[in-house]
Structure 1
Amino acid sequence: MAVRIITLVGSLRSGSHNRRLAEAAVQIAPEQVEISVYEGLDAVPFYNEDIDVEGTVPAAATKLREAVAEADAVLLVSPEYNGTIPAVLKNAIDWLSRPFGAGALQEKPVAVVGTAYGQYGGVWAQDEARKAVKIAGAAVAEDLTLSIPGSVVRFAELHPVDDPEVTEKLAAVIEGLASRTAATV
């Protein structure tokens, strides 16, 4: 049985380097691992407990919850916006954390990777993402990290899948995340 990993990308821009990093993950996944990039984070409304009521949950939020619940693990791919996690990714985590104690992230293995323009590759945003999903109930893989600095220069003409250093490190994250799922037991 294949391990299913869903990837949530914190950048909505179609040509973003983080989106390309997620695409690279799909392309280099080993045979026993299926990775999909979730489409539709831009349609999920800001979390509001008033609209998170059974029978009236927005369709986009329900779709997100169902997609993550069906996956064996989650790979978050985050840029860094003003030193922290992008709002779209934080919003997804908020929706996935509910209902409290039983959300789609509960006990689900999660790893966080990303790239950013700065010299540290977005580590602040990735640390914030790990903190948020851990509080949301996920089983965060603290040791599976990949922060790629200088994205604007490094990926100006090179797709991450064509960068041997990136693919080697990304493959290690994917294999480590897949090994933490119940599907591999």
Structure 2
Amino acid sequence: MDSPRILIIPGSARDGSLNRRLAAVAAATARAAGLQVTEMDLRALALPVYDGDLEAASGVPAGAHELRQAIATSDGVLIVTPEYNGFPTPLVINAFDWLSRIPPGDGQAGGLAATANKPAALLSASPGPLGALRSMNFLRQYLQMAFAMLVVPQQFALGRANEAFDGEGALKDARAAQSVEKVIAALATLARAMPTPR
């Protein structure tokens, strides 16, 4: 595999989101490293809050199928999430909860099959000093245990993120930029090491 396909998912969609800004830095870093990058807006998937009655009445929403397809056709997934009360955002958890409900059919893998053994990596950003580290650690457990994703050990939490970007959207601190590069490199290395899907 010469150029892994990386799917980047910000865990916040709001205007001015620090994690969207960090995701943009990651995307630019990945492209500079020769990777193919797709960026996904979870809010654009228009997923309602998961409800078993809604699923029974209407099935799994189209947005969840779009997420499944994006993950299935990627070689690695990078999630960049803030912290809501010490936990990953409802936007991320709800999207993956819906994803888990997709059964196989029409020659397509189910949601859990699409994530199984898929390389993943994590970044986070917060105005606080820990940089949303707690949410990353919860998300690591969630993705590994519930979705069988292979989350690389390397991760980076950007603290004081409200002061971390320059006017062009780049990271001011060279060490922070290098930390993002290391996470991207680890994800790319694992993606290259995985068997090519049939």
Is the radius of gyration larger for structure 1 or structure 2?
Answer: 2
Distance across 2 between alignment mates of 1:14 and 1:82? 20
CA positional deviation for 1:36: 1.9
Letter in 1 for 2:91: V
Using the size of structure 2 for normalisation, the TM-score is 0.81
Alignment gaps of 5+ in structure 2: 104-110
Where relative contact order (Cα < 8 A, 6+ residues apart) is larger, the structure is 1
Q: Is it true that 1:95 corresponds to 2:98 in the alignment?
A: yes
Letter in 2 for 1:178: A
For the 8 Å contact 2:117–2:148, the answer to whether it is kept is yes
Using the size of structure 1 for normalisation, the TM-score is 0.86
- Equivalence for 1:121: 131
- Equivalence for 1:16: 17
Q: Cα 1:160–1:95, aligned 2, differ >3 Å: closer, same or farther?
A: farther
Q: Which runs of structure 2 are paired with 1:29-68 in the superposition (5 Å)?
A: 29=30, 30-42=32-44, 43-52=46-55, 56-68=59-71
Q: Cα 1:180–1:52, aligned 2, differ >3 Å: closer, same or farther?
A: farther
CA positional deviation for 1:64: 1.2
Q: Is it true that 1:74 corresponds to 2:84 in the alignment?
A: no
Q: Cα 1:10–1:175, aligned 2, differ >3 Å: closer, same or farther?
A: same
Q: Is it true that 1:167 corresponds to 2:177 in the alignment?
A: yes
Distance across 2 between alignment mates of 1:136 and 1:142? 16
For the 8 Å contact 2:116–2:147, the answer to whether it is kept is yes
Q: 1 or 2, which has the higher helix percentage?
A: 2
Q: Cα 1:141–1:175, aligned 2, differ >3 Å: closer, same or farther?
A: same
Letter in 1 for 2:96: I
* 3-state DSSP of counterpart to 1:83: coil
RMSD of aligned C-alpha atoms?
2.6
Q: Which runs of structure 2 are paired with 1:139-150 in the superposition (5 Å)?
A: 139-150=149-160
For the 8 Å contact 1:73–1:181, the answer to whether it is kept is yes
